[in-house]
Amino acid sequence: MSESAHEHRESAPETVRVAVLTISDTRTPENDTGGDTIQELMQAAGHEVVERTIVRDEASAIRTVLVNLLANAEVDAVITTGGTGISARDTTYEVVDRMIEKRLDGFGEIFRMLSYEEIGAAAILSRAIAGAVGTKLVASLPGSRNAVRLAMEKLLVPELAHVVFELRKHQEGR
């Protein structure tokens, strides 16, 4: 790791406040395994899950909930699960893509590479995406618990605090 990356990690907040948004027509609080996995891994890493919501896979509903979560001063990042495939009902990617102001292209690229190592060519069906909306991160993960665990353990848990630090720098006038 470069010296500057190490310094930034050292300056990053210890606790990131996360909202978890599950996008599904079938998930309930009782069977939301993707949301459960995000919450468990965020809390194990010392972060705080400040809100958890399930919304139907309808573009207008997803956008409304995302706008509200991002407007919440208690939220530093929103992690979504579900709706990133290519079926007619999968609209998460389109909604998030339109909202993102600064895309983290490497997130989706690396996720698909890691996913390819686990599931093969089916990884191309994932439209995982992440980027900044103002000073907040939005990361959209597939609905599969295994895909969520992969993205969380390999990408978000190691870098979330660093990303939030970078996004806040502009806000704090640094």
What contacts 24+ positions apart, CB below 8 Å, involve 62-70? Answer: 62/21, 62/23, 62/91, 62/92, 62/95, 63/95, 63/99, 65/21, 66/21, 66/95, 66/96, 66/99, 66/138, 67/99, 69/19, 69/21, 70/133, 70/134, 70/136, 70/138
- Using DSSP's 3-state secondary structure scheme, residue 81 falls into strand
Instruction: Inform me whether the pLDDT recorded for 174 exceeds 50.
Output: no
Tens of pLDDT, residues 99-128: 999 999 999 999 999 999 999 999 999 999
Domain of 25 in residue numbering reads as 3-171
Q: What local confidence, expressed as pLDDT, does residue 72 receive?
A: 97
Q: What CATH number is attached to the domain comprising 120? A: 3.40.980.10
Residue of 121, 161, 117 whose CA lies nearest to 9 = 161
Number of domains in the chain: 1
CB atoms within 10 A of CB 169: 13
At residue 172 the predicted structure's pLDDT band, cuts being 50, 70 and 90, is low
Say yes or no to pLDDT of 68 above 70.
Answer: yes
